[in-house]
């Protein structure tokens, strides 16, 4: 028995009953360590990916083909940084009882302990890539994030509501770029096709391995148990195909997978699996742009140290 009079087991049961009843868990509520840990891992990875994701797009701000496109992509980059800040704040509250801080999140990124999404380790060499990131990477993010809008952890669910609303604008912005290119010159059409070919595998990888258990991770089961998300990686990937394969084809583009088709018998899309060994390598910061983007992040973190110091209440106090 502890001071409040209930055993850990009673607290756990009460907590699980709240989850089953669809109640929202708040930052100061009692929660099992496993729940706290899986949330920290999930939300810190999501938050840092928003920030790392702004980097490939930021590269295109000075090179955007018109003022209108420049303003569009600038606003998107700004939104993504905002999403990152919002999510890192949510993570910070969860980490507080463990004595860990926001600084630790950044350091974990630099040491490689905190991973960011595979797609943001990739190159974005053309304007077609910039459009495709908005259209399909943000499109994929909308699919995974809307699946968690009903997440049991209140602060995350509320942050996602705002984020998803903005992601819809990002996807429309990307779609507008892609549609203009797909209706353009032969060179522009080829540029989009090239981007689709380059991004197809990373997009499949975005949802994570289908058989997580075989790969030794049970995160999917834990998030389902605690009502954080409802669909599996494979279900989300299938949702992505259902939404986007017809759209890609309707623009006269092809998918770089000759086996891709919808099987009525199996009631699912049949496709070529991406190279999951390569996926593991990429998320371990061994992707084409991993080191360069980490260096850039580290540099801006160091350059902005004076701002953090100026804002820190600890400095005022002493």
Is 83 a binder of Fe ion (CB under 5 A)? yes
**In angstroms, what is the minimal distance from the CB of 83 to Fe ion?**
4
**In angstroms, what is the minimal distance from the CB of 160 to Fe ion?**
10
C-beta closer to Fe ion: residue 117 or 229: 117
**In angstroms, what is the minimal distance from the CB of 1 to Fe ion?**
45
C-beta closer to Fe ion: residue 19 or 141: 141
Rounded Cα gap, residues 289 and 122, in angstroms: 6
C-beta closer to Fe ion: residue 115 or 209: 115
C-beta closer to Fe ion: residue 75 or 106: 75
The burial of 269, by beta-carbon neighbours within 10 Å (0-12 exposed, 13-18 middle, 19 or more buried), is given as middle
Which of 130, 167, 131 shows the shortest CA–CA distance to 147? 167
204 with 137: CB under 8 angstroms?
A: no
**In angstroms, what is the minimal distance from the CB of 268 to Fe ion?**
27
Which of 174, 206, 208, 213 shows the shortest CA–CA distance to 192? 174
What tokens were used for 144? 């995974």
**In angstroms, what is the minimal distance from the CB of 21 to Fe ion?**
31
Residue found by looking up tokens 């983007």 in the block: 293
Residue 215 CA to chain centroid, in angstroms? 20
C-beta closer to Fe ion: residue 49 or 220: 49
Q: Binding residue for Fe ion (CB under 5 A) from 46, 58, 117, 170?
A: 170
Rounded Cα gap, residues 72 and 170, in angstroms: 9
Q: Binding residue for Fe ion (CB under 5 A) from 57, 59, 92, 138?
A: 138
Q: Binding residue for Fe ion (CB under 5 A) from 80, 129, 201, 239?
A: 80
161 with 121: CB under 8 angstroms?
A: no
> Count H helices, E strands: the chain?
14, 2
Span near Fe ion by CB under 5 A; candidates 46-54, 198-206, 231-239, 303-311: 46-54
**In angstroms, what is the minimal distance from the CB of 167 to Fe ion?**
5
Q: With the C-alpha atoms ordered 193, 126, 165, 206, is the resulting torsion angle positive or negative?
A: positive
C-beta closer to Fe ion: residue 227 or 239: 239
Q: Which of residues 174-203 bind Fe ion (CB under 5 A)?
A: none
Q: Binding residue for Fe ion (CB under 5 A) from 59, 92, 129, 167?
A: 167
107 with 101: CB under 8 angstroms?
A: no
What tokens were used for 106? 């950044």
**In angstroms, what is the minimal distance from the CB of 229 to Fe ion?**
17
Which of 121, 84, 124, 133 shows the shortest CA–CA distance to 105? 84
Is 57 a binder of Fe ion (CB under 5 A)? no
Is 237 a binder of Fe ion (CB under 5 A)? no
The footprint of Fe ion (CB under 5 A) covers: 50, 80, 83, 138, 167, 170
């Amino acid at each position: 028995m502890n001071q409040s009079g209930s055993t850990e087991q009673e607290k756990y049961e009460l907590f699980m009953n709240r989850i089953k009843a669809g109640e929202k868990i708040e930052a100061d509520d009692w929660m099992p360590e496993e729940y706290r840990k899986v949330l920290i891992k999930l939300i810190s990875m999501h938050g840092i990916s928003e920030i790392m994701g702004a980097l490939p797009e930021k590269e295109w701000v000075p090179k955007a083909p018109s003022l209108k496109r420049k303003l569009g992509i600038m606003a998107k980059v700004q939104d993504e940084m905002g999403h990152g800040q919002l999510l890192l704040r949510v993570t910070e509250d969860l980490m507080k009882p463990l004595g860990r801080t926001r600084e630790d999140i950044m350091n974990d990124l630099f040491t490689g302990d905190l991973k960011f999404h595979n797609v943001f380790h990739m190159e974005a060499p053309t304007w077609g890539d910039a459009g495709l990131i908005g259209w399909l990477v943000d499109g994929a993010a909308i699919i995974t994030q809307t699946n968690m809008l009903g997440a049991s952890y209140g602060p995350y669910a509320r942050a996602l509501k705002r984020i998803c609303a903005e992601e819809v604008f990002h996807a429309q912005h990307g779609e507008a770029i892609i549609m203009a290119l797909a209706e353009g010159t032969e060179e522009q059409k080829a540029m989009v096709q090239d981007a689709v070919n380059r991004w197809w595998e990373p997009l499949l990888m975005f949802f994570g391995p289908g058989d997580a258990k075989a790969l030794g991770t049970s995160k999917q089961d834990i998030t389902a148990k605690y009502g954080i998300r409802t669909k599996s990686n494979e279900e989300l990937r299938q949702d992505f195909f259902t939404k986007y394969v017809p759209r890609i084809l309707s623009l006269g583009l092809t998918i770089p997978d000759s086996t891709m088709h919808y099987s009525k018998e199996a009631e699912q899309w049949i496709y070529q699996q991406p190279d999951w060994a390569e996926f593991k390598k990429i998320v371990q910061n061994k992707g084409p742009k991993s080191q360069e983007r980490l260096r850039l992040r580290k540099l801006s973190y160091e350059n902005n140290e004076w701002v953090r110091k100026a804002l820190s209440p600890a400095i005022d106090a002493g």
